[in-house]
């Protein structure tokens, strides 16, 4: 992100200088579309400032002295303009080149990773079918500013490290170190991980269109914590490819019974099993059971099932029943307290 330090006496003039290239305004952070670049600028306005200065981290990029004298530190140049607005515009053009050269992206939560062989096709579909407000092209990534459902969203399109004939693309919601897959496009099916559903696709073009539309229109408010959900933990870190195969097999096994249940899939190491299911209820964590090979282990004993994924299905059924019982128990407890 670029930092702009602006004298308070020039702030309104600064806003006027950039108004034609601002594509998104979020109070002290603005997105500017310029020369096929998206520039994210956070403004700091100060009484004690005499010059307008642009920084990237601690690196000074451009500085405006006396309204019309520009020191371009990126290109090592000194220029004079007729007025302050022209000085601001020059600095931003210089910064747009800096952003390209340094491959500096803008903040994004929506990511679509695609195989290199379909990367160009995905670009063409996005640019043909969606209202593009701005774009940022950096190395093997393109960032799009798109208007969808009366909101401005930033979609980062990236060449995937998974070059497999089985997996063509996957969509993530990412916030800092937190990353969740919401959709995976296989050669024959598209999986909606957050909904525990899948669709069979007749051709890869259909699948590409579906996963693009899903990530662009995905409601990020779904990511907010809920008080009551099942958490299935898979005892395997593995590669992304291995994780996606696990997710596919799990959803295949349970989609018909769990598509209306709030269930999340996680990967981690734990002792004593291959799969672990817990009911998260507010601050309470209630163990449902584990699957070891084809055996279900619960506090009531164990069951032996034909295979591991049938055992997972049975464990999820137990978890759904436990969730419903807990909900009924909470309802009657609330009703009792209310009646008193």
Is 274 within the bounds of a domain? yes
Q: How confident is the model at residue 336 (pLDDT cuts 50, 70, 90)?
A: very low
User: Which tens digit of pLDDT belongs to each residue from 261-312?
Assistant: 888 888 888 887 889 999 998 888 899 999 988 888 888 788 888 888 888 8
Is 330 within the bounds of a domain? yes
Number of H helices, E strands in the chain: 6, 22
- Which is more confidently placed, 84 or 229? 84
pTM: 0.82
Q: How confident is the model at residue 335 (pLDDT cuts 50, 70, 90)?
A: very low
Cβ count within 10 A of residue 16: 12
Is 220 within the bounds of a domain? no
Question: Is pLDDT of 78 > 70?
Answer: yes
Total of domains in the chain: 1
Tell me the percentage of the chain whose pLDDT exceeds 90.
Answer: 45
pLDDT at 334: 34
Is 303 within the bounds of a domain? yes
pLDDT at 6: 94
Average pLDDT over residues 149-157: 88
H-only helix segments in the chain: 11-18, 84-102, 119-129, 204-217, 240-258, 308-339
User: Which tens digit of pLDDT belongs to each residue from 13-69?
Assistant: 999 999 999 988 876 788 998 888 889 999 998 877 889 999 999 999 999 998 899
Q: Which range of residues forms the domain containing residue 328?
A: 230-336
Is 102 within the bounds of a domain? no
Write out the two tokens for 135: 């774009």
Between CA 181 and CA 193 the distance in angstroms is 7
Between CA 49 and CA 327 the distance in angstroms is 59
Is 273 within the bounds of a domain? yes
User: Which tens digit of pLDDT belongs to each residue from 236-261?
Assistant: 767 888 889 989 999 999 988 887 78
Q: 173: helix, coil or strand?
A: strand
pLDDT at 338: 38
Is 264 within the bounds of a domain? yes
Question: Is pLDDT of 339 > 70?
Answer: no
Between CA 297 and CA 316 the distance in angstroms is 12
Is 275 within the bounds of a domain? yes
Instruction: Write down how long the chain is.
Output: 340
Average pLDDT over residues 332-338: 36
């Amino acid at each position: 992100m670029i930092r702009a330090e602006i004298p308070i006496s020039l702030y309104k003039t600064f806003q006027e200088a950039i108004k034609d290239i601002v594509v998104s305004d979020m109070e002290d952070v603005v997105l500017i579309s310029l020369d096929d670049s998206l520039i994210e600028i956070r403004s700091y306005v100060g009484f004690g400032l005499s010059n307008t200065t642009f920084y990237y981290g601690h690196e000074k990029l451009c500085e405006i002295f006396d309204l019309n004298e520009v020191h371009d530190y990126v290109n090592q140049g000194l220029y004079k303009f007729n007025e302050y607005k022209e000085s601001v515009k020059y600095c931003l053009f210089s910064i747009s080149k800096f952003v390209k050269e340094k491959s500096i992206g803008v903040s994004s939560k929506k990511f679509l990773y695609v195989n290199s062989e379909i990367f160009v096709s995905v670009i063409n579909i996005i640019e043909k079918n969606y209202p593009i407000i701005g774009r940022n092209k950096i190395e093997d990534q393109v960032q799009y500013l798109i208007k969808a459902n009366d909101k401005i969203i930033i979609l980062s399109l990236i060449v995937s490290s998974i070059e497999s004939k089985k997996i063509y693309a996957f969509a993530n919601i990412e916030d800092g170190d937190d990353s969740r897959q919401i959709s995976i496009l296989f050669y024959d099916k598209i999986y909606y991980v957050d909904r525990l559903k899948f669709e069979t696709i007749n051709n890869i073009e259909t699948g590409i269109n579906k996963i693009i539309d899903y990530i662009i229109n995905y409601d990020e408010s779904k990511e907010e914590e809920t008080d009551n959900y099942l958490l299935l933990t898979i005892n395997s870190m593995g590669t992304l490819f291995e994780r996606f195969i696990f997710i596919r097999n799990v959803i295949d096994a349970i989609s018909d019974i769990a598509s209306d249940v709030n269930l999340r899939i996680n990967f981690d190491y734990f002792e004593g099993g291959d799969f672990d299911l817990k009911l998260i209820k507010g601050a309470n964590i209630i163990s449902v059971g584990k699957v070891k090979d084809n055996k279900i282990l619960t506090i009531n004993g164990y069951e032996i099932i034909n295979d591991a994924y049938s055992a997972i299905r049975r464990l999820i059924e137990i978890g759904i029943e436990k969730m419903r019982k807990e909900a009924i128990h909470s309802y009657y407890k609330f009703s009792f307290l209310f009646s008193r």
